[in-house]
Amino acid sequence: MCVTFVEENPSRSCRWCFTKALRWRVCWHSADRDTAAGNHQYANVLALVQVIYTDQSVAEAGDGWAPEWRDQLFEPEHSGYDHPAVYVNYAHGDVGLKAFYGYEPWRVERPLETQTAI
């Protein structure tokens, strides 16, 4: 899919890579109360999907391609999980806070309270 994307949009490049996030192993074996890392039990693989361009006219195609791949990677048959474990997308903001902070209600309440206080 990446090759097709670049062939159809020569002003862009794309990349996606899988990296084992070994540093998360410490959090993975920690009790919830001992870490602020929500969803740490799922953090054994990090996937990065990235579109790079210098010509703003190609932004729309890139913005359509990356979320499509992200959504495919999140599908349970590919990820092995029934929901996103950890994901941050500052550019689009279309992934819920629970995917980043964790699915326990208190994990989302604390950051929202802090943000409101600031």
* 101, two tokens: 């902070």
Higher-pLDDT residue of 5, 108: 108
Distance, CA of 105 to CA of 2 (rounded, Å)? 37
Domain extent for 60: 2-117
pLDDT in tens, 1-25: 556 766 776 665 555 544 444 444 5
pTM to 2 decimal places:
0.43
pLDDT bucket at 37, cuts 50 / 70 / 90: low
Alpha helices in the chain (DSSP H): 2-8, 24-28, 59-74, 76-79, 97-101, 105-117
Distance, CA of 105 to CA of 108 (rounded, Å)? 6
For residue 36, give the nearest of 45, 26, 46 by alpha carbon. 26
Phi-psi domain of 19 (left: phi exceeds 0; alpha: psi -120 through 50; beta: other): beta
How many domains does one find in the chain? 1
pLDDT in tens, 40-89: 555 555 666 777 777 788 788 878 887 888 788 778 887 777 777 655 55
